[in-house]
Amino acid sequence: MKLLVTGATGKVGSRLARRLALRGDHVRALVRDPSRAEALRALGVEIVRGDLLDVASLEAAVRGVDAVVHCAAFFRGATAEEAHATNDLGTQHLAAAARRASVGRFVFTSTGLVYGANGGRAAREDDPCTPAPGYPASKLAAERALFAVEGLDVRVLRLPFVYGDGDPHIEEAVPMMRGFLPAQRMSLGHHADVAQAVARVLDTRSPSHRIYNVVDDEAPDLATLFASVGAPPPDGSAAEMARAFDMLLDGHRLRDDLGFRPEYPRLQDAIAAGVA
């Protein structure tokens, strides 16, 4: 399969592009700075320069591909306006280019944050969404825009907190969550299982315009998550802020529809395998 992967120098996209290339797909990576993609080039990934806000560059990027896997996003540090421009309008530009090029399938990596806080209940894909402003709201807007594009075969993967493969995501999140509650739980997904989910929606016939939560079998509490990187548990000093992130994902649909089974069902499994 010939694939265009966006965000291929980011945390999720770089590891996903590598795995797709290693499984035998022809991967074309859309990047703003080709000098950051040398490791992918060494794996045979085709590197093309482009930007979600540069419509002309997208026309060339989607030409001749079977599917688009759209991972690019502006997350940390983005204002609400910047998040909207990249994550919503940029996605619309890419989708329009894909539609004009008759691309067969469009896979969008969204976020579980679109559900908004729900008191730690496991959210299902058909539940109402009340995302916080900024990044979460921009991703939900992009989902809805994609589903409105006539003739585009869309799958949406709502990702949890993604970790593993040498990604320092957990360490980087510890300072932000230092004031959270130690017993608060967080849905996780290993990079290997994000790649598995993408492969399954690319390879398996399923209804178009389908949304799937991607999530491990177990959501550890934050004390356990912090301990995995040698950090003391959070101190609970910012309980009000923590409530905004008190939400879990239900992963039954992906398992039932497409036979997804996590390679690393629990954080402890990844730690034991040395890939956390």
Say how far apart CA 126 and CA 212 lie, in whole Å. 10
The DSSP 8-state label assigned to residue 219 in this structure reads -
Distances (CA, A) of 30 to 43, 52, 70, 200, 205: 15, 9, 10, 22, 26
Checking 74-77 for CB contacts under 8 A at 24+ apart, the result is 74/135, 75/135
Instruction: Give the number of other Cβ atoms within 10 Å of residue 149's Cβ.
Output: 16
Helix 90-100 to helix 135-147 angle (10° resolution) is 20
Say how far apart CA 171 and CA 160 lie, in whole Å. 16
C-alpha angle 263/268/272, rounded to 5°?
80
The residues with which 273 forms a beta bridge, in sequence order, are: none
Structure tokens belonging to residue 111: 């976020």
Query: Is-catalytic flag, 264?
Result: no
Q: Which of 135, 163, 212, 264 is catalytic?
A: 135
C-alpha distance across the termini of the chain, in Å: 29
Write down how long the chain is: 276
Active site residues: 135
